[in-house]
Amino acid sequence: MMDQILRFISVSDANVRYVLIGSMLLGMAAGIIGTFALLRKRSLLGDALAHAALPGVGLGFLLTLSKSIVPLFIGASIAGILGVLTIIGITRTNRIKQDAAIGITLSVYFGAGIVLLTYIQRLPSGNQSGLDKFLFGQAASMLPSDIMMMSIVSLLVILIVIALFKEFRLLIFDQAFLATLGYPVHILDILLMVLVVFVVMIGLQAVGVVLMAALLITPAAGARFWTENLRSMIILAAVFGAFSGVVGTFLSSLAPRIPTGPVMVLAATMFFVISAVSAPRRGLAAKLLQLRHNRRKMQQEHFLRAAIEWLELHHESKAIPLKAFIGRTEMPISKLKRVTAWLIDKRMIKFSSSNHIQLTQKGYDKALQIVKSHRLWEYYLLYRMQLQEDHLHRDADEIEHILTPDLIDQIEKILQNEGVDTSNVVSVHPLHQ
């Protein structure tokens, strides 16, 4: 076992090296093309295509009685394209919707493929055909010539995408606009479809028809979490795909009984889950952190507003007793302690005695801004939206944390235009008095 791992990692074995490079290129090509398929909302078309390829594999074998990859590839491509045309034909000619059309095509073509496969297995020459490898994939059983083909087609696909990147991007984003620029939209669309067909076909041996779709969809969907930029999304999807290919090949070479396809799919799924959890901004962890950050920010701002409100009532004093905050912020003592600690850390407040705090200049400025935005928003609701006064506070409570200085200025201007005097919204003595 150890020996095997070492041999694999060192890539000293020529065959292992080829398989590795091949599955890496395959994963890359699938990730790249999958990104376009995903954004074009055609994820499951790849699935139907892969399933539909099976009878083509069977027929290719039956007609040539050879395991050579070329006839199988051609057969699979024709059957796959026929499958896509079937879907289009079904939805165009009658009221069956696309989802059912995909399901029908996928299952019926696949059933026909199974019929052919079981038929071939009964032929004298069919026993060793090894066509059942096409169901779930077996990278280890690929011949050097297969890998050669796989690599060449993958590279070709990648190169075409690089060359036509600008066109494909606009095709996905705004097809009508691309057409007005004079590009042959339909030809580009068909080309993209043909590239999907190619990737699916070269993946069949390694991944199998059943799960090939995952190699198109999952890396691309995972990459989507990390970036808003198509170029980086494609690169990430290619990386995820390449790693999934390598991991799948590696693990299934350790345990030959386990087919390659499912392992690759699980590897891709793992990348997807990692992305969904840990990607910045869109990821789950980032969202939870953001939520906690917002909550804490709100608590601190409520504390600061309470401080100003207390100061407005008590003009003679600058030191605010801590217990004044209990009623004003409606926070439990333990929470209050933590909020105090955060604000001290930020140098917004300081203790003036053991149970009194005082605002620093920084804290004072911040607090003033919060109160101002709160009250301006209240005015705004009152004058522009004609709300009843009792509704005001709750709304301003929430909005004050997100109004940017920009927006506050805008609101102030609107109010001034309406003839509202906004100069005295906060009536507190300045700190340095």
Among 78, 104, 143, 230, binds other proteins (CB under 8 A): 104
The smaller minimum CB distance to other proteins, of residues 196 and 428, is found at: 196
d(CA 204, CA 200) in angstroms, rounded, equals: 6
> CA nearest 33: which of 194, 175, 185, 147?
194
By CB under 8 A, the residues from 334 to 373 that bind other proteins are none
| Distance from chain centroid for Cα 50 | 24
The smaller minimum CB distance to other proteins, of residues 73 and 380, is found at: 380
> CA nearest 142: which of 243, 239, 248, 46?
248
As beta bridge partners, residue 351 has 357
Q: Give least dist CB 109 to other proteins, A.
A: 8
Among 4, 10, 107, 229, binds other proteins (CB under 8 A): 107
3-state class of 433 per DSSP? Answer: coil
The smaller minimum CB distance to other proteins, of residues 150 and 411, is found at: 411
Among 1, 122, 228, 345, binds other proteins (CB under 8 A): 122
d(CA 363, CA 361) in angstroms, rounded, equals: 5
The smaller minimum CB distance to other proteins, of residues 152 and 385, is found at: 385
Among 134, 224, 271, 300, binds other proteins (CB under 8 A): 224
- Residue 93: CB partners within 8 Å, gap ≥ 6? none
Q: Give least dist CB 46 to other proteins, A.
A: 8
Which range in 4-12, 77-85, 116-124, 308-316 contacts other proteins by CB under 8 A?
116-124
| Residue 76 to residues 53, 151, 203, Cα–Cα distance (Å) | 4, 18, 11
Asked if residue 132 binds other proteins (CB under 8 A), the reply is: yes
The smaller minimum CB distance to other proteins, of residues 111 and 184, is found at: 111
The smaller minimum CB distance to other proteins, of residues 156 and 420, is found at: 420
Among 60, 113, 203, 241, binds other proteins (CB under 8 A): 113
Asked if residue 394 binds other proteins (CB under 8 A), the reply is: yes
Q: Give least dist CB 82 to other proteins, A.
A: 13
Among 66, 125, 290, 355, binds other proteins (CB under 8 A): 290
By CB under 8 A, the residues from 140 to 159 that bind other proteins are none
- Give residue for tokens 């699979």: 76
Evaluate whether 268 touches 219 at the Cβ level (below 8 Å): yes
Q: At what angle do helices 14-39 and 43-64 cross, to 10 degrees?
A: 130
- Residue 290: CB partners within 8 Å, gap ≥ 6? none
> Which positions from 18 to 57 touch other proteins by CB under 8 A, shown as an x/- string?
--------------------x--xxxx-xx----------
Asked if residue 228 binds other proteins (CB under 8 A), the reply is: no
Report strand pairing: 320-321 vs 356-359.
antiparallel
Q: Which two tokens stand for residue 48?
A: 């139907």
Among 8, 18, 136, 226, binds other proteins (CB under 8 A): 136
Q: Give least dist CB 263 to other proteins, A.
A: 7
The smaller minimum CB distance to other proteins, of residues 60 and 137, is found at: 137
Which range in 145-153, 284-292, 324-332, 348-356 contacts other proteins by CB under 8 A?
284-292
356 phi-psi bin (left φ>0, alpha ψ -120 to 50, beta other): beta
430 phi-psi bin (left φ>0, alpha ψ -120 to 50, beta other): beta
By CB under 8 A, the residues from 244 to 283 that bind other proteins are 255, 257-259, 261-263, 265-266, 269, 272, 276, 282
By CB under 8 A, the residues from 65 to 94 that bind other proteins are 90, 93-94
In one letter, which amino acid is 231?
Answer: R
d(CA 27, CA 24) in angstroms, rounded, equals: 5
| Residue 151 to residues 20, 21, 219, 368, Cα–Cα distance (Å) | 10, 8, 19, 65
* Main-chain phi, psi angles of 255, to 5 degrees: -125, 90
- Give residue for tokens 């939520």: 291
The smaller minimum CB distance to other proteins, of residues 293 and 350, is found at: 293
By CB under 8 A, the residues from 396 to 425 that bind other proteins are 398-399, 401-404, 407, 410-411, 414
- Altogether, the residues listed in the chain come to a count of 433
d(CA 48, CA 103) in angstroms, rounded, equals: 8
* Count of chain residues binding other proteins (CB under 8 A): 88
Among 68, 103, 336, 356, binds other proteins (CB under 8 A): 103
Q: Give least dist CB 225 to other proteins, A.
A: 8
By CB under 8 A, the residues from 159 to 218 that bind other proteins are 210-211, 213-214, 216-218
- Give residue for tokens 């879907």: 87
